[in-house]
Amino acid sequence: MNDNTNRFIGYAINDLLNHNVSITLRSKKYLRDITDGWFSSDKKLKFVCNLGDCKDLRISIFLHEYSHFIQWKTKSHYWIGEEYNNAYQEYFEFKGIENQLKYQHLIQEVEQDCDKIAVNLIKKHMLDIDIDQYIRESNWYIWMYNIVSELNKWPNMRYINMQEMCNICPKKFIEKSRYNRLPAKFLHQIDKTLLIKSKN
């Protein structure tokens, strides 16, 4: 981690505290498959992040969750509370809801907007994060929601080779019109690494 990144973490934590956000930074033992962090503005403001040992990945997660906070702080229309909170809640209950695709699209939009904020922060604070790689991962998540909806669960990340998957994702943010159009290569890779194994 470079000095800029260390300074940024201090700056971000101060910003969160100044807005009365409760902060939980977890150690590696809490690492889970599904989520390594979240920011919630539902009832109480809450920022949770697993910083762990794998510095680069963890810093990306910290940055991503902080960018959700920025969406809240700047009253972004992508973070307008009710509708998005509902979308996350309903979508991740995986009850085969009627509006699954609508919620999927809302989540894809809010997540991509968050990552665009994150990339601006990487540039502004000259953070030690590879922007191309960050955007590839962001695109990977956007496309993954299609698979999540199909499987009706978040797949076990153990079966996914993130690097291989990211290599086939573009290094520019995908357009909204492409959110639900998965390239053959992507589907092929998912087929191999995930769909088969996650059924076992």
Q: Could you tell me if 41 and 81 are in contact, meaning their C-beta atoms sit under 8 angstroms apart?
A: yes
Position 190, amino acid = I
Window contacting Zn ion (CB under 5 A); options: 11-19, 53-61, 103-111, 120-128: 103-111
Query: In angstroms, rounded to a whole number, what is the distance separating the alpha carbons of residues 147 and 83?
Result: 22
Query: In angstroms, rounded to a whole number, what is the distance separating the alpha carbons of residues 1 and 12?
Result: 15
Query: In angstroms, rounded to a whole number, what is the distance separating the alpha carbons of residues 182 and 195?
Result: 15
Report in angstroms how near the CB of residue 158 gets to Zn ion at its nearest. Answer: 21
> Judged by CB, which is closer to Zn ion: 157, or 196?
157
Report in angstroms how near the CB of residue 35 gets to Zn ion at its nearest. Answer: 9
Report in angstroms how near the CB of residue 178 gets to Zn ion at its nearest. Answer: 19
> Judged by CB, which is closer to Zn ion: 48, or 190?
48
Report in angstroms how near the CB of residue 57 gets to Zn ion at its nearest. Answer: 14
Query: In angstroms, rounded to a whole number, what is the distance separating the alpha carbons of residues 120 and 72?
Result: 16
Q: Which helix (H) or strand (E) holds 133?
A: helix 131-151
The total of other beta-carbon atoms located within 10 Å of residue 44's CB is 9
Number of residues located near Zn ion, criterion CB under 5 A: 1
User: Could you say which residues in the range 139-178 bind Zn ion, by CB under 5 A?
Assistant: none
Report in angstroms how near the CB of residue 111 gets to Zn ion at its nearest. Answer: 5
Window contacting Zn ion (CB under 5 A); options: 7-15, 45-53, 110-118, 152-160: 110-118
Task: Report CA torsion sign: 131, 133, 135, 138.
Answer: negative
Q: Record the tokens describing residue 176, joined without a space.
A: 């909204």
Window contacting Zn ion (CB under 5 A); options: 4-12, 54-62, 107-115, 150-158: 107-115
Shortest Cβ contact with Zn ion: which residue?
Answer: 111
The footprint of Zn ion (CB under 5 A) covers 111
